[in-house]
Chain A
Amino acid sequence: MIREISVKTLAEAVCELCIQANHFLSPDMRNALARAAGQETSPLASRILGQLEENLQIAAEESIPICQDTGMAVVFLKIGQDVHFFDGDLTEAVNDGVRRGYTEGFLRKSVVGDPLLRQNTGDNTPAILHCSIVPGNQVEITVAPKGFGSENMSRIFMLKPADGTEGVKEAIVQTVAEAGPNACPPLVVGVGIGGTFEKAALLAKEALTRETGAPSELPHVCALEAELLERINALQIGPAGLGGNATALAVHINTYATHIAGLPLAVNLCCHVNRHASRVL
């Protein structure tokens, strides 16, 4: 049975999710930060984690964005194959939602229309839109505003099959070590392994939207996540890069089939303000 959904409903949802994500950190992230604070032994690191907790409280109570970098709006749509959109263009509706969310929500306009000419578009559009078609007649929207302090420290590696799991581990730990204080630790480390060049990057981005700390369903990947989290925290980069136990809150790895000749790896770092808000229409 085909379900009709107006793109105006979609735009409204995107608008609200942009505002929500930038003011209220999701419970999974808040819990992960609280756990990190409980395990921190360095006084300076504890003080910084205390400031981050206070910051979240002020943001929520006074409607001030958690971070001034309210990001580029990354929007994931999982569209049921029995949905028919009407009332206009889907992509324009998503951009309209972002435009309204960033204007009405007093969010920063951080997007330039051309990467070389660098004129600010003034309304934070266009969004980065990823659509996938799934069974059913619902639409799942996830808005993940992505800051560029951590985006700039993210990396892609086209490893060889001979590099294997060891090569993957080395590259991930090296990426976090090189990011050091720049990416605003404690981080969430999103990893994509497999696919093609662009598929690995998308897997890594999607991994950041997973419930923080929820393990992979694949036993060998779950073990890899746990080992990497331990190795990354042993780096002692710590909150704000000033030393301490909490360098990463979680490592999320998504995998996909790949070619016999390749082992693509993407490491998408996200700061402690790992924003993601979802809604099902």
Chain B
Amino acid sequence: MEKHIRLPLTQEDIGGLRAGDYVYLTGELYTARDAAHKRMAETLCAGGTLPFEIAGQTIYYMGPSPARQGHVIGSAGPTTASRMDKYTPRLLDLGMKGMVGKGRRSPEVIAAMRRNQAVYFAAVGGAGALLSKCIKKAETVAYEDLGTEAVRRLVVEEFPVIVVIDAEGTDLYGNLSG
């Protein structure tokens, strides 16, 4: 089923999404990948607060290539989500509602998604030039020293993704391989 959804995700949106739905996202996404996740986890362990309010937000696992002059961003496709699995349940328990990446997730992440009613989307890996055209704004909001791994706030329009794991825990990859 094809859907157009505004970010941040509402509980109603999440409840209506099913694994296999083709979705166009419009609104704000935050980027974070390996190094930013490690730093956020360390901050939380030390009793600190995250550099942005994660409750209700969607994280895009992505580190862009540099923008040429006149461009908002460089190539900007998804990275492998499973590398963030170690850190993800805690972020879901803090209220994160959506994730965009590629590849499988761990049983712990899927359990945390069900517990917190969140959704995992895949964008097409290796289509970074195409996906960059849907990104209308990009600004660094934290960890600038991490370069491509800094946390960015993006504004996207009609950003194409596929629901891989829905809030009931149905896993499109799992169904395909089984």
Q: In this assembly, does B122 line the interface, its C-beta being within 8 Å of a C-beta of chain A?
A: yes
Q: In this assembly, does A237 line the interface, its C-beta being within 8 Å of a C-beta of chain B?
A: yes
Chain B residue contacts of A205, Cβ below 8 A: none
Given known pairs A65-B75, A67-B128, A68-B128, the reply for A106 and B66 (CB within 8 Å) is yes
Q: Are B147 and A109 in contact (CB under 8 A)?
A: yes
**Alpha-carbon gap, A107 to B71, bound state (A):** 14
Interface residues of B in 7-28 (CB under 8 A from A): 22
Q: Are A108 and B130 in contact (CB under 8 A)?
A: no
Binds B, one of A6-14, A46-54, A156-164: A46-54
CB-nearest residue of chain B to A103: B66
Partner among A55, A64, A118, A184 whose Cβ is within 8 Å of the Cβ of B71: A64
Q: How many residues of B contact A (CB 8 A)?
A: 40
Given known pairs A180-B103, A181-B102, A240-B102, the reply for A149 and B74 (CB within 8 Å) is no
Q: Mark B35-74, 1 if CB is under 8 A from A, else 0.
A: 1000000000000000000000000001111111001001
Q: Are A67 and B148 in contact (CB under 8 A)?
A: no
Q: Are B127 and A51 in contact (CB under 8 A)?
A: yes
Chain A residue contacts of B147, Cβ below 8 A: 109, 120, 122
Q: How many residues of A contact B (CB 8 A)?
A: 45
**Alpha-carbon gap, A70 to B63, bound state (A):** 11
Chain B residue contacts of A66, Cβ below 8 A: 75, 126, 128-129
Partner among A67, A106, A180 whose Cβ is within 8 Å of the Cβ of B126: A67
Q: Are B130 and A58 in contact (CB under 8 A)?
A: yes
Interface residues of B in 120-178 (CB under 8 A from A): 122, 124-130, 132-133, 146-149, 160, 162, 172-173, 176-177
CB-nearest residue of chain A to B130: A55
Q: Are A68 and B74 in contact (CB under 8 A)?
A: yes
Q: Are A106 and B130 in contact (CB under 8 A)?
A: no
**Alpha-carbon gap, A54 to B160, bound state (A):** 14
Q: In this assembly, does A271 line the interface, its C-beta being within 8 Å of a C-beta of chain B?
A: yes
Chain A residue contacts of B88, Cβ below 8 A: none
Chain B residue contacts of A109, Cβ below 8 A: 147-148
Interface residues of A in 104-118 (CB under 8 A from B): 106-110, 118
Q: Are A51 and B130 in contact (CB under 8 A)?
A: yes
Q: Are A236 and B176 in contact (CB under 8 A)?
A: yes
Q: In this assembly, does A74 line the interface, its C-beta being within 8 Å of a C-beta of chain B?
A: no
Give the distance to chain B from A103, nearest Cβ to Cβ, in Å.
Answer: 9
Q: In this assembly, does B117 line the interface, its C-beta being within 8 Å of a C-beta of chain A?
A: no
Interface residues of A in 63-83 (CB under 8 A from B): 63-70
Task: Name A residues whose Cβ lies closer than 8 Å to a Cβ of B.
Answer: 44, 48, 51-52, 54-56, 58-59, 62-70, 106-110, 118, 120, 122, 147, 149, 152, 177, 180-182, 184, 236-243, 271-273
Chain A to chain B: the 4 pairs with minimum beta-carbon distance, closest first:
A182-B103, A184-B125, A55-B130, A68-B75
Besides A67-B129, A182-B103, 18 more A-B contacts (Cβ < 8 Å) are A52-B126, A59-B75, A66-B126, A67-B75, A67-B77, A67-B127, A68-B65, A106-B66, A108-B74, A120-B147, A120-B149, A149-B80, A149-B125, A184-B126, A240-B125, A241-B173, A242-B162, A243-B176
Sample of 15 A–B contacts (CB below 8 Å)? A64-B74, A65-B65, A65-B75, A65-B129, A66-B75, A68-B62, A68-B75, A69-B77, A70-B75, A110-B63, A147-B126, A181-B103, A181-B104, A241-B122, A242-B122
Task: Name B residues whose Cβ lies closer than 8 Å to a Cβ of A.
Answer: 22, 35, 62-68, 71, 74-77, 79-80, 82, 102-104, 122, 124-130, 132-133, 146-149, 160, 162, 172-173, 176-177
